Amino acid sequence: MSKLNEEWKVEKHGPIDKLADGLYTVAGEIDMPLGHFPRRMTIVALQGGGLAVWSAIPLHEPEMEQLESMGPVQFLIVPGVGHRLDIKPWKQRYPAAKVVCPPGAREAVEQAVEVDATTDVLGDPTVAFMAVPGVEEKEAALVIRRADGTTLVVNDIIANVRHPDGLGAKVMARLMGFGVKEPQMPWVGEKMFVKDHAAVAAALRTWAAEPGLARIVVSHGDVITDQPHEVLEKIAADVAE
């Protein structure tokens, strides 16, 4: 685990990309020896007019101004133990925002900031926050059901790092199973977090059955838009073995 950032530290990142109405993402990078490892932030505009920020990444000021123009930052979602790197400076910038994480990650997140909730407090009937079954409640997921399609947002249970940048990133992505050839559950995450393989596989299959599933947004790698139902079914079969 990298040392938690105390101040606003901007690393290389791309623009704020629109995925659907009220849904945006930013692809960023974490510097590492001999390369850069991808990470991704997701921004959800809520029906009440505020924003929920998933796996927050500090951005340069023009992009932060663009984000703030979308609405007030009301929720900062830390989706897992490994994604608290920048939560403290985000909370300092938006002190009124509520910090939300899955129950099993609360102790780790509170090493950086106080947690306000571990359940769905987003107040938007189109957005469901939940703890992923079978992982001791250490990973969160969002299911966003809107008129233009359903989006599944997950953290470290699925990775899709198809283009690792630099030798270090390539080695890490391949050795830890971060989806270099196709989307998959990283074996390191499976070993660390998965305690009930059948429960995880069942959750993946439930999400695969979501009508209108248009995309899967992961915290590491590219957004999955090609046959997302089939991707979930395949990973469920792999996990259940």
Does residue 133 lie in a domain region? Answer: yes
Closest among 225, 224, 222 to 39, alpha carbons compared? 222
201 φ/ψ angles, rounded to the nearest 5 degrees: -60, -40
pTM of the predicted model as reported, rounded to 2 decimal places: 0.93
Does residue 6 lie in a domain region? Answer: no
- Dump pLDDT digits (tens) for 162-221: 665 665 555 565 656 565 778 988 877 777 788 999 999 999 999 999 999 999 999 999
Q: How far is the C-alpha of 77 from the C-alpha of 119, rounded, in Å? A: 11
The reported pLDDT for the residue numbered 240 is 86
Closest among 34, 54, 33 to 44, alpha carbons compared? 54
Domain span holding position 45: 17-240
- Dump pLDDT digits (tens) for 22-62: 999 999 988 766 567 789 999 999 998 999 999 999 999 99
CB–CB of 35/167 below 8 Å? yes
Does residue 24 lie in a domain region? Answer: yes
The reported pLDDT for the residue numbered 89 is 98
Q: By three-state DSSP, how is residue 188 classified?
A: helix
128 φ/ψ angles, rounded to the nearest 5 degrees: -115, 120
The CATH number that applies at residue 208 is 3.60.15.10
Does residue 1 lie in a domain region? Answer: no
Total domains in the chain come to: 1
CB–CB of 83/116 below 8 Å? no
Would the pLDDT of 1 be above 50? no
Does residue 30 lie in a domain region? Answer: yes
Does residue 7 lie in a domain region? Answer: no
Does residue 12 lie in a domain region? Answer: no
Q: Are strands 35-45 and 51-54 parallel, antiparallel or unpaired?
A: antiparallel
Q: How far is the C-alpha of 7 from the C-alpha of 10, rounded, in Å? A: 9
The reported pLDDT for the residue numbered 78 is 98
Would the pLDDT of 11 be above 60? yes
Q: How far is the C-alpha of 37 from the C-alpha of 174, rounded, in Å? A: 12
